[in-house]
Structures are given as C-alpha cells and as structure tokens.
Amino acid sequence: MKKRLLLDVDEVICFTGFLPLINEFMNTNYVIDDFKDYFIDEIAIPKDRFEEFNNFINKRNLYENAYVLPHAIETIKILNEVYDIYICSSCINPFDIKGSGKLFLNKYNFLLKNLPFIKPEKYIFTSVKNLFIADIQIDDRLSNLDGNIETKILFPSYHNKEITDNELKNKGIIRAGYDWKDGWREVGNILLNDLENSDKPKIYNYHK
C-alpha cells in the first residue's frame, strides 16, 4: 500500500496573487522575502485601510495569477507515482471570514488546472490539519505540523527562516532546506532518494 502524504498548497505549491495585489493597492514593490511574518497584510496595509483592502481583494481571484514554486508540479507528479497524495489546505482568511468562500472555489479551480493527476476527491479544505492519519505531511507552518504523522517536512518559506534547527529537531520535523526556491528539490531528495530501487518511479531522475 502506498504511503499517505498530506500536501499543503499556499506557500508550498504556489504563492497566491496576494502580494502582487498588495503592491497594486499600496503602489509598492515588495517581494516576498521582504517579510518575516506570515500575515503580510498586517505589515503592509495600514490599519485604517484594512477594510478598503479587503473589499479590493474580494473582487479579485487570488489564484488566477498564482506563482507556482520552482519544480513543484514536476516533483509532485513524480511523488504521486509512489505516494498516496491528499491536498490538505485551509481556505479561510482569518481577517475576512465572510469573504473567504471565494477562496474555496478559486483554490479548487487552481488545483484542477495545475495538478490534473490528483483527483479532486482527494482535496481536503480545512484549517484543522491534525485530524488526519497519514505517513507524511508537507507544510510551511510549524503550527500545522502538530499531528500524529511519522514524517513531517517543513517547507522553507519567508516566514519560517528564523525557526531554529534545534526546535525542529526537538519536534521531530525535517527542514526541506532554507530557501523556497530550492524547496521542491530538497523534498524530492528527502522523499525519493531513500526509496528502495524497486519502488522508485520510472521517471525518477533526481540527483543529490
């Protein structure tokens, strides 16, 4: 039986159009690595313009021009041959609960288009990720990696660079490097290089 893998979406498969929309709204030129905190709107948007900003982004599709992370699709496609992959992703914006329904639809359409080899029956849209029994979980937020999972992988991101190796070691979490640009190469090395030769997918071509 294939091992079960829970896979996050935002900041792992893609960056949504959120930051480009912040730049459009504020007339700024931020790049993602300018931020250290997860909720970049709390930093980039003045409090007195928050409501105006939420109204502005509610009219847009955050996944229309999402940026897919380097090597994400090709690596997930290879992993899908040897692992039983479930998408496990929150669709709630805690700063805009009423407007969050759109995120479910837009994320659903993004996944259908970009990961056609994963059946939509395997999409799990929830913030309560520790409910599930699985063998492997990949997520960029430490707070999501608190379930009973054998192999937990922290995907590198702008907001988790300062988490120490010691903290991860104590929590039994593997770090897929320190730079999101190389995250998928690292994940490939972690999850594919350790397989027995007979289990390796035929299109396997990862090298350390």
- Residues 97-113 as b or e (16 or more Cβ within 10 Å = b): eeeeebbeebbbebbee
Binding characters for Mg ion, 52-91, by CB under 5 A (x = yes): ----------------------------------------
**Least spacing, CB of residue 17 vs Mg ion, in Å:** 15
Residue 203, CA distances (Å) to 43, 70, 192 in order = 43, 18, 11
Residue bearing tokens 């969050």: 100
Q: Which is nearer to Mg ion, 8 or 186 (CB)?
A: 8
Contact pick of 5, 10, 15, 16 for Mg ion (by CB under 5 A): 10
Binding characters for Mg ion, 114-153, by CB under 5 A (x = yes): --------------------------x-------------
Query: Could you tell me which stretch among 2-10, 52-60, 120-128, 180-188 binds Mg ion (CB under 5 A)?
Result: 2-10
Residue 70, CA distances (Å) to 121, 149, 205 in order = 26, 26, 16
Contact pick of 6, 7, 8, 71 for Mg ion (by CB under 5 A): 8
Q: Which is nearer to Mg ion, 47 or 71 (CB)?
A: 71
Residue bearing tokens 């396997």: 204
CA separation for the pair 108, 188 (Å, rounded): 25
Q: Total number of residues binding Mg ion (CB under 5 A)?
A: 4
**Least spacing, CB of residue 137 vs Mg ion, in Å:** 11
Phi-psi region of 80 (alpha: psi -120 to 50; beta: other; left: phi over 0): alpha
Least Cα distance to 155 among 172, 167, 142, 165 occurs for 142
CA separation for the pair 125, 130 (Å, rounded): 13
Q: Which is nearer to Mg ion, 16 or 44 (CB)?
A: 16
Q: Which is nearer to Mg ion, 39 or 49 (CB)?
A: 39
**Least spacing, CB of residue 157 vs Mg ion, in Å:** 8
The reply to whether 11 sits near Mg ion by the rule CB under 5 A is yes
**Residue 139 backbone dihedrals phi, psi, to 5 degrees:** -155, 155
Question: Exposure of 137 by Cβ count < 10 A (0-12 exposed, 13-18 middle, 19+ buried)?
Answer: buried
Query: Could you tell me which stretch among 9-17, 31-39, 76-84, 198-206 binds Mg ion (CB under 5 A)?
Result: 9-17
Q: Which is nearer to Mg ion, 13 or 79 (CB)?
A: 13
> Which residues here bind Mg ion, judged by CB under 5 A?
8, 10-11, 140
